[in-house]
Structure formats: structure tokens, C-alpha cells
Amino acid sequence: MDMPAISTRSGRRLYLHNPSPSQILIDDIAHGLAHQCRFNGQTNQFYSVAQHSVIVASILPPELKLAGLLHDAAEAYLGDIVQPLKELLPEFAQIESRFANVIGERFKVDLTHNELVKKADLIALATERRDLMPMEIVEWDSLIGVSPLNKSITPLNPDKAKAEFISCYLKLTFKENNQRAVSLNQNLFGSLNLRKLISL
């Protein structure tokens, strides 16, 4: 019997119980997150996990921005399962943690729990609830005492959200990767006019 695995847009294959860092690509992560809507799609407009990740990164100090950008990267492979359901699926939590560790290894960033990243995640969550779920009337315990950002969220379509995610990643890792610049599909990143990007 084959081991359970998932395939990515780039043609990679990752085994759920033993994912390999060599199969992890930032483009697959950006693409997957950009096409997943937060909150199971129960928002007034499409709003992607990729855009959420960029917002979280923007809140954090420089040394934690990459961790913030990639804090939900496992969802590119496993899906964005809402928190109440995750709490009922302990095995899923283990698989998600395994993927987060492998992604952290691939990009040389610590993706284990960090209080500042969690706080930034909650600030983004409070902002998303205000701007994208205006009909919600039930208080969320996790947001008690958490203030949203002053700036409102303008949701991006998947292509633009992916481009923003990639752009953020490149800015955060440019010093490490500037010797490996290559040309990528201009159409994909046309909104940012990025002709030369890092080989990822």
C-alpha cells in the first residue's frame, strides 16, 4: 500500500508522515496559500491565507518577519482547517507540526511557538474579524484584549496575494539569495514588475 502523500503544483510529492525539506518550494507555498480563503470562506470577500501571512509579517520586528510570513506555511500542503475542528483532530496537529518543522528546516527559520508571532497573528485575526466578518456577533475569547490594526484590509485576488507573498519573502531573504537570481514568469508577478527573482 502506498504511503499517504500529496502532490504540489510544481510536481513535487510530499509524504504526510515523512515530508522531505528538498520537496518544499516557496512557490508551492505561496500558490497554495494564495488560493485558500481564511475562515472556510465565510468572509464577505475572498481573503487568502497568503495575504494574512504578509500582514502578520508586517507587524513583527525584522528578526521575526520570516517566521511570521511562514507561520501558516504548512497549510499550503494540508489546508486551512478552522481552529475548533483542529482541536478535535489531535493526529492532524501532529502532522501539521511535522510539516512546520520541515518547512522551518528548509528555510532556516524557527517555526516553533513564539509569543510575539502569536500576538501578531491575533492582531491580524482581530482586524480580519472587523473588516471581513462584520455580521459576526459572538465574542471570540482569543481576541479579548487584542486591538485590531488601524488600517483596514483590502482583500487581494489570488494572483496578487501570491505576488505579495513572494515579494515579501524575497525582501526578507535577499541577502542570502542574491547570488541565485533568475528570471521567472513575468505574467505571474506582473503587478509588481518583478523581472528577476530568486531561484527558489
Provide the CATH number for the domain around residue 152: 1.10.3210.10
Please indicate, yes or no, if residue 166 is contained in any of the structural domains: no
In a domain, 22, yes or no: yes
Inter-residue contact 43 to 132 (CB < 8 Å)? yes
- Residue 192 has what pLDDT? 52
Secondary structure of residue 71 in the 3-state scheme: coil
Residue 46 lies in a domain: yes
Q: Given this model, what pLDDT does residue 125 score?
A: 97
Q: Which of 129, 131, 188, 179 is nearest to 155 (CA)?
A: 131
Q: How many domains does the chain have?
A: 1
Q: Quick check: is 117 in a domain?
A: yes
In angstroms, the Cα distances linking 74 to 13, 53, 109, 173 are: 14, 12, 14, 19
Segment 17-52, tens digit of pLDDT: 999 999 999 999 999 999 999 999 999 999 999 999
Residue 183 has pLDDT above 50, yes or no: no
Closest CA to 136 of 148, 128, 146: 128
